[in-house]
Chain A
Amino acid sequence: MVREAIRWLLSSLVLLFTVTVLTFVLVALAPGDAAKAILNARSGGYTPQQYQEMRRLMGLDQPLAVQYWHWLDHLLHGSMGTDLFNGQPVTQALSSRIGPSLSIIIATLVVSGVVGVVLGIVSAARGGVLGRLVDLVSLGGLAVPNFWLALVLVELFAVKLAAFPATGYTTFGTDPAQWLRGLVLPVLTLSAGAVAFIAKQTRDAMADVLSQEFVIMLRARGLPTRSVVLKHALRNAAIPVVTLLGLLLVSLLGGTVVVEDVFAIPGLGQQAMTASASHDLPMIEGVAFIFTVVVVVTNLLVDISYRLLNPKVRAS
């Protein structure tokens, strides 16, 4: 167990290092840089001398390895550097954005997980029309573009019915009720496609398990259907669903960008887009670092779930 924990820790560190190095290299390879972004924003045009001077002022004229080392050195001392445009510490800028992003992502996981699994189970257990209905809903959920759905929800539930705010994010500490109200439309938007995926995956996994011999034996022993489905079949069918939830969480890290844009939620996705457009390397590195940590932790949770759900994994 201890050996596994050490192995996990080491592989996580390697992953973090690799991702941050790759991010540095990719940003450097991308056309343009922060100096150009600043000069363009300020004057629209610039001379080569002005550009070189700006690069020197921003430290962009140093070799990439030196720049990375500086960033890593700062990180080891608890700092991710500062925003190239306004001087704000990256850790400070990102810390205020983690809450909104995690709120949306976790709420989306919960909603889509619960609704998707329930739909999948009912569909698998009952089959027939309900099964086809799940397929139809899945197809619809996947086909509707997030952006369009968000605008429709805003028009209907915010502008027409005034039931939820159209934009903005309230922290839980400020007003829990308003926090919840503000999450409803963004989470509905993101859940539409996610529910479809999970329901279909659950239905297929459940259908597969329900056709296995041990389930037939359980039924033959006279166990009630509810017990067979929820206690025995679901446990076996849960592994691919848990895997899907893990993948969903990872995809939501980047997938929230559109929703954050439409609902004006100050999340990490929006920050990542802004930083990328302006080549703000410290900020991009900071976002990449946080995303990687979330991915690492998610993988760990998924692994732990496997162990809890499947005794064979525990034994191995």
Chain B
Amino acid sequence: MVRSLMTTRRQALIGAATALVLGLAACSSSAKPPTQSATGTGTGSGGRVGGTLTVVTDVSPQTLDPAKAVQNDAWFTELAYEPLIVRHADGTLVPGLASSWSYTGTGNSTFVLHLRSGVKFSDGSALTAQNVVDDLKYVVASKGQMAPFLAGDTFTATDPLTVTIKAAAPDPNFPQLLTQDYVVGGMISKAGLAAPTGLGTRTAGAGPYMLDAGQSVTGDHYTYVPNPDYYDATSVSWHKVVIKVVPDVQSVLSTLQTGQADVAQGDPQTQNAAKQAGLTVASSPLLWSGVVLADRDGKLAKPLADVRVRQALNYGTDRTSIADALFKGLGEPTDQMTVPNGYGYDAQLNSTYPYDVNKAKQLLGAAGYGSGFQLKIVTPDYQQLNILAQALKQQWQKIGVDLQITDDSDANKYAAAAFGGSFPAFMTSFGAIPVWMEGPSLFMPTAAFNPLHAADAALTKLYDQEAVSSGAAQAALDQQVEGYLVHQAWFVPVVTTGLPYYARKSVGGISTSATEPLLDLYEVQPAG
């Protein structure tokens, strides 16, 4: 029962959240090489083609509709929906359904996509610019997870194979947004858009595979077969791909050990056992976990309005001990709200808040809270956040801060409390995403993770500059934003963790990296 509750919680609130979910895709540079090829026998395409690839995950998708699906469900959509732009394994962006793209003019406001010619969807219809326009409008109308990033933009088919997007406000991240990482990059056919209610349980994309509904049971297993109209047949590596939902994380491991599956999305709880079982294990930093000090204006907890208090909480956190004791080699201490080599990462920032109880007390005293204060915090119980909160309670007692923890095992209730603005602080796990996207999610006045709507003119100025920048200038501004957030101590990040993947030796292509923490099913091939 405990397990099932954990699972349903996870399903109920994959997004409390966004944190977890965005993290997955955000930092990802997953990729399907557009002309992947290998030697071997197969279908005549010249590529090595395996029989059936069985993949296991512990979360079932709420929907297969890419406009409404969340990033946790990317495995279920990416096989069938080819994105406009593909993010390669090394992080570079390569052509998908779009053969080229670019911003025009200045200010990152007009983005033009030139589509690949001769592309067909799995229903046999042709890809057109109008199709893409209709798809993007459908994404906005569907109000899905990514809709806010396209809301207010205008989409125009400037010729049969050219699409122009005019952004309502400068947006430097169209290329990333339209990759497979953010789900909405996958285009839906005209027929699919005409009958959107069916998209929840069937596919209508131009990807290498398509769902075989007859061999699938919603919520249990999803069977994908090759799309005969796929434009690049050489990249189809399997005759069939089955994604099986196994709700219990321990059973996920057992399924792999018994050979019933080849690849699995793992869980930190079973990561060491998977290594001991001789499975291939791949994991790279993906999320940071810690505290959101939401009440920066002191509306609910006056002490938090003082930056010295917020900094004191950071100095009073022994990150190394927590990482060692709670995460047992699966987490790394961090001072910043990103992962190593992620967007805005600055190695120097990791020495901002060494564990220093005296310094923390000194800052609290200077702020007028030398005798300490009480701080209410709400935590969910996934990602070990509730245990992390207990560890912080113990540590912060040493600097006189009494952490009053509300441990909400119901993730929906946690989300209502945390994002409803009824707590001055809350625990979270958040993925490292592009800073421009992080703003409206994490720190700008309207962000969900800024429920008390704290505003900072200097931060907003940096953010606005970042929005119209590109290349090295953008990377430098990303670091400035990150540095500003760290020094202003809006958060108490504690550890970074990864999402593990397991595989049997019979398959290859199982690798993740700092720039590609997500495993893309496109990459998985028969071993050898």
**A contact set with B: CB distance below 8 Å:** 31-32, 36-38, 40-46, 50, 53-54, 82-83, 85-88, 93, 96-97, 147, 151, 154-155, 158-159, 162, 165-169, 257-258, 261-264, 266, 270-271, 273-274, 276-278
Contacts and interface: CB of A to CB of B under 8 A. Distances in A.
Contacts of B4: 257-258, 261, 270, 273
B257 A159 contact: yes
A258 B220 contact: no
Contacts of A44: 15-19, 21, 415, 419, 441, 448-449
A97 B219 CA distance: 10
B60 to A, nearest CB: 7
A41 B14 contact: yes
Nearest to B7: A261
B251 A167 contact: yes
Given A162-B258, A258-B4, A277-B11, 18 more contacts: A36-B412, A37-B12, A41-B62, A44-B18, A54-B143, A88-B200, A88-B201, A88-B218, A97-B217, A166-B257, A169-B220, A261-B3, A261-B251, A263-B251, A266-B220, A270-B4, A270-B219, A278-B12
6 contacts: A151-B250, A258-B1, A263-B251, A264-B255, A277-B8, A277-B9
A153 B453 CA distance: 52
Nearest to B259: A162
A85 B248 contact: no
A129 B445 CA distance: 75
B92 interface: no
B244 A45 contact: no
Interface residues of B, number: 63
B496 interface: no
B247 A264 contact: yes
B152 interface: no
Interface in B252-275: 254-255, 257-258, 260
Interface in B286-325: none
A274 B3 contact: no
A274 B11 contact: yes
Nearest to A259: B4
B60 A262 contact: no
Nearest to A158: B258
Q: Which of A87, A266, A270 has the most CB of B within 10 A?
A: A87
B194 interface: no
A28 to B, nearest CB: 15
A261 B248 contact: yes
B15 A166 contact: no
Contacts of A147: 1-3
Closest 4 CB pairs of A and B: A45-B448, A86-B200, A266-B220, A45-B419
Contacts of B60: 274
A43 B251 contact: no
B244 A168 contact: yes
B416 interface: yes
B46 interface: no
A44 B416 CA distance: 9
A41 B12 contact: yes
Contacts of A85: 62-63, 200
A168 B54 CA distance: 12
A86 B218 contact: yes
Interface string B110-151: 000000000000000000000000000000000111001000
B64 interface: yes
A258 to B, nearest CB: 5
Interface in B393-440: 410-413, 415-416, 419
A243 B60 CA distance: 38
A159 B171 CA distance: 51
Given A45-B449, A167-B251, A266 B412 contact: no
B422 to A, nearest CB: 13
Interface of B: 1-4, 7-9, 11-19, 21, 60-65, 68, 70, 143-145, 148, 197-201, 217-221, 244-248, 250-251, 254-255, 257-258, 260, 410-413, 415-416, 419, 441, 447-449, 451
Given A257-B1, A257-B4, A40 B251 contact: no
A158 B253 CA distance: 12
Given A86-B62, A93-B219, A155 B254 contact: yes
Contacts of B15: 40-44
Nearest to A263: B251
Nearest to B428: A44
Q: Which of B19, B61, B62, B217 has the most CB of A within 10 A?
A: B62
B8 A45 contact: no
Nearest to B199: A87
A83 B200 contact: yes
B6 to A, nearest CB: 9
A46 B415 CA distance: 10
A86 B12 contact: no
B62 A159 contact: no
A40 B419 CA distance: 10
B254 A167 contact: yes
A274 B251 contact: no
A38 B441 CA distance: 17
Contact of A274 (B63, B199, B219, B413): B219
A266 B217 contact: yes
Contacts of A166: 251, 254-255, 257-258, 260
B275 to A, nearest CB: 16
Contacts of B65: 86
Given A262-B251, A273-B8, A31 B413 contact: yes
Given A44-B419, A166-B254, A271 B219 contact: yes
A12 B343 CA distance: 62
Contacts of B9: 277
Nearest to A264: B246
B524 to A, nearest CB: 20
Given A167-B255, A257-B1, A264-B251, A43 B448 contact: yes
A96 to B, nearest CB: 5
Contacts of B247: 261, 264, 270
Contacts of A158: 254, 258
Contact of A262 (B3, B11, B410): B3
Contacts of A82: 197
Contacts of B219: 93, 266, 270-271, 274
A13 B522 CA distance: 52
Given A166-B257, A168-B260, A271-B219, A87 B11 contact: no
A154 B255 CA distance: 10
B451 A45 contact: yes
Contact of A45 (B1, B68, B199, B415): B415
Nearest to B18: A44
